[in-house]
Amino acid sequence: MPRAVEPMKPTDLDRRAMRRALRLARAAAAAGEAPVGAVIYETSTGRALGAAHNLREADADPCAHAELLAIRAAAAALGDWRLNACTLVVTLEPCAMCAGAIVNARVGRLVYGASDPKAGAVESLFRICSDARLNHRPEIVAGVMAEPSAALLRSFFRARRGAVKPPKPRRGPQA
């Protein structure tokens, strides 16, 4: 009978980085962006290499997810695309695009807050980061400060659903 795998536990650095990621997520919400924040640091030293929040609305870029922006900043800071010695901390379980980038960047550890049952590609819908067919699998620490992360998302989307949207301009011939 196979032995159950012990879930990975967060470190003090993980919790500190998650608090920073939550501050970034709140800044994203204040700017009208989906409230997701990400921080990436050198696992052994704790040196911050990148931090970002979603910028899809501001940049009109569907790829401007917090994780991708933080990964780009870390690669630039290191001068290397291989991030084996890094930990990525993000408030929400990464989507398929971001999980693929995590694998391709060889991120050593992934720490995330809230699970995403609708689009999560680390453990909820897909298991991209632990798929044995891929060439890299980061260590995964899930559920770190999950409730504050989830509460921020719930509050943001509840407010958006209740907001009155201005009418869209009509196209076509003008009277």
Q: Enumerate the active-site residues.
A: 67
Q: What share of the chain is helix, strand, coil (3-state, %, to 5)?
A: 35, 15, 45
Cα gap 136→152, rounded to integer Å: 31
Dihedral in degrees, nearest 10, Cα atoms 11, 37, 128, 2: 30
Identity of the residue numbered 119: A
Residues 6+ apart with CB under 8 A from 7: 141, 142
Of the candidates 121, 107, 110, 26, the one whose C-alpha atom is nearest the C-alpha of residue 74 is 107
